[in-house]
Structure formats: C-alpha cells, structure tokens
Amino acid sequence: MTSKSSDKKTYERPNITPEMSLAAQAALIDRLELEELDQDLYRGYNEPNRTGRIFGGQVAAQSLMAAGRTVDDLLAHSLHGYFLRAGDPDIPVIYTVDRIRDGRSFVTRRVVATQRGKAIFNMACSFHKFEEGLSHQMDMPDAPPPESIPQWAERMIPLWEKMPDRIKKVWRPGARPIDMREIDVPVYMGGEATGGNNKIWLKTPGPVIDDPFLHQCILAYATDFSLIDTMLRQHKERGPFGSLMTASLDHAIWFHAPLRIDDWLLYVQDSPVTGGARGFARGSIYTRDGQLVASAVQEGLMRIVKPTEAEDRSI
C-alpha cells in the first residue's frame, strides 16, 4: 500500500537577523533607483516573494521617485494616488511622468504606472519651494518609547505555529526594510478589535544617506503598511458576516516638514468611518520629539464575500 503525499504546503518559521533587515533596507533603496528609459519615462523593479500582487507602498514610492527625477532641488509637499489594478510582482512597472506645471513656487507632476500597457496606479504630486510662514500643530499623543515595544519578528515568531497558512503566505518574505513596532498587537496577529487609535513606531533598520527626498519616498512606502489594519480594528479580522476582501483604493500624503526615516517616527492612526464596502483611515506622523512632519489618509476596500464566491484575500 502506497501512502499519498499531502499537497498542503508548509511554511517555515521566519528566522530574521539584523543583517537580513539591513539587506532588506538596501534592496528597497535599490528599487527606488529607477531605470531611465527616455525623458520622463522610467522602469521600476518589484520586491521579490510577493504573493499575488505588488505592495501598494512600493508603487507609490516609485511613482514619487519618478516625479522627483523631473524636478530640480524641491521637496514634495503632497501626493494623491489611486490604485487601479492589482500589479503583477513578476513584471517590471513602467512610470510615465507628465510635467503638468512648473511655477516659481510650486511644481506639479502626474505619474501613471503601467504593466502590459494598462494603468495600475495614477498619482498627482506637488513640490514646493521652502517658504517661511505661520506655524501651529496638534500635539503628539503619549506613547511608550519604541525600545519598549517588541519588534515585528519578536511578535510574529511566538504566534507562527497558530497562524493559518494564508497569513504565513502573506508574511513569507520575513525581513522588512522598515522596523515597525505596533504598540497594540495587530488584528492580523490576533489582536483585539479594540477600536480607537493605532500607534506604531517606525524607522529604517539602519542609516539612510542625507537625501531629504529619498527619506520622503521611503516614508511613502511605509505609510501603506497598516492603515487597513486600523480599519479592521473596529470589526475584527473577518468582519461580522464572513470573509473580507481587502485592498488599498487610494492613498494621500502631505509632507509638512523635512524628516528622517532613519530616526524613530510615531504613526498615529484612526478610522473614523467604514461603510459601503469601504473603510477610511488617517494617520499623523511625528518625530520622537513631537514635531508633526507628515499626514496620510487612505480608503480601502472592505468587501464581505463568501469563501465559495470569491478568493479570500483578507490579511
């Protein structure tokens, strides 16, 4: 009698070292060095081991970098992007920049990211020459220091054996280019649906060169990681009626001041509303000494599906 082998794939527990995290950071910066194909036309390469679709933060960061390659000596002050189609991680992305306006103080660009001739992401962004002006901000809320918060891997490894394969599949890459320390356990890790604010300390594992625009692009990458989880904090992982299909629909960032992505930043998020199969979340990003340097908002798809009707793409 012959035994029939199981078709079920097993996922090994991640063993993440500091060297692996630094290598992931270096790989992200390399992917932001876009290949110039022609004037205002660039090619970007994707993160490996992504399952099913490109990470939206990568496309947003590369789009911002493409726009910045056509601007001289200005920093971005805002971007507004729409995720139009799921990107194929096995195919490079082509970025076309449209020079909408070059003014004395503001420069505006439009970027379309395409694969196989179809748009997967569309972004408008604006750059501003620094000016002095009035100043105020909301105070940073209290938060425990980042050194007291477990790293992502420290939280992940004890939970690994209990996680369903669909979660292991999503987080298979292991080392991350951003050290993100969630003050509360994320919903996808089994955290409670407590509502309220979601606070995360973040920075790169190692130093980044003194290029303020590069720091903006890496922050654009990082801001897409956790906003959908902030929406889900109100409803638990699968919602009240069944599985959830989730995806980022649009994303916007305002840069209020220069920042360093290799210093600790506190990402304070909340989700004022969900409805109509969409969730809305916003975040304020503070330096460790309390300066508000950026704000982000996102709307995400939160579609209730039956497992028999559609693939369960919930995180």
List active site positions: 224, 248, 298
What is the end-to-end Cα distance of the chain in Å, rounded? 41
Euclidean distance between CA atoms 314 and 263, whole angstroms: 32
Beta-strand ranges (E) seen in the chain are 35-38, 41-44, 75-83, 93-102, 106-115, 118-128, 179-182, 198-203, 243-255, 265-275, 278-287, 292-305
Q: Where are the alpha helices (DSSP H) in the chain?
A: 18-32, 56-68, 152-159, 165-170, 212-222, 227-232
Name residues whose C-beta falls within 8 Å of residue 51's C-beta, 6 or more positions apart in sequence: 89, 169, 170, 172
Euclidean distance between CA atoms 182 and 192, whole angstroms: 13
Kindly report the number of other CB atoms within 10 A of residue 48's CB atom. 9
Burial string for 275-306 (b: 16+ CB within 10 Å, else e) reads eeeebbbbbbbbbeeeebbbbbbbbbbbbebe
Of the candidates 186, 176, 115, the residue with the CA atom closest to the CA atom of residue 155: 186
Eight-class DSSP state of 86: P
Instruction: Answer whether 60's CB lies under 8 Å from 112's CB.
Output: no
